[in-house]
Copies of this chain bind each other. A is one copy, B any other.
Amino acid sequence: MSKVIAAITTSVDGYVVGPDDRPGQGLGIGGERLHYWVMGGPWTYADDGRDTDGMHGADREYFEALTEGLGCGIVGRTMYDAAGAWGGTNPFPGTLIVLTHRTEDQPDPSTGFLFVDGFDAALQKARELAGDATVSLGGGADLIRQGLAADVVDELAISTAPVVPGGGKRLFEGFERDLDLDVLGTWSSPFATHVRYAVKRPG
């Protein structure tokens, strides 16, 4: 069965977005700093990262290793909307399943997006599409927490950006399970510290 990797970026104080995230400001106020590692340097919502070098160095090494063998991704609808549907086409390998109650505006299959209602249904569909390849849970925070709570996450990959926004949405807000992890590897750049953890199963 395909491996499930939950991957997300947080701040040092544990926020996946800063305050007031919304379309056009998908990572919240000052939240661009969370994704300097993605863009390869400082960027703003206004410049959309067009002046950066692009992902490079340890950040790229981390990302390429993480996405190698990715068969199908799942993201939450809020993330999809906040990202402006990545301009209308899925930028990741395979199909990107969008978890949403509002499936009536199903995108054309050529976009690479597929709207599915319900976590279990989304995961089942993702496993079907991925075959032996990896399924990723790409956020937001609630999707990651759902996956961890359902005991279906094999690997948790956290990129920590060197910023303390002091507010926003916390990755582990309201999560009360106790989990043991094993460090699989770390990657460090000026823009993020990436750690891949195996989630240990009880018993």
Chain A residues within 8 Å of B, Cβ to Cβ: 12-14, 30, 33, 148, 156, 158, 160, 162-167, 170-172, 175-183, 186, 188-190, 193, 195, 197
Contact = CB atoms under 8 A, between A and B. Distances in A.
A179 B164 contact: yes
Contacts of A166: 172, 175-179
A162 B181 contact: yes
Nearest to A161: B181
18 contacts: A12-B156, A12-B172, A12-B181, A13-B171, A14-B170, A14-B172, A33-B180, A148-B164, A160-B160, A160-B195, A163-B180, A164-B178, A165-B178, A166-B175, A183-B193, A186-B193, A188-B195, A193-B195
Contacts of A171: 13
Contact of A163 (B13, B179, B189): B179
B12 A158 contact: yes
Given A166-B172, A167-B176, A186-B188, 5 more contacts: A13-B172, A162-B182, A166-B177, A182-B190, A183-B193
B164 A183 contact: no
Contacts of A193: 183, 186, 193, 195
B188 A164 contact: no
A62 to B, nearest CB: 13
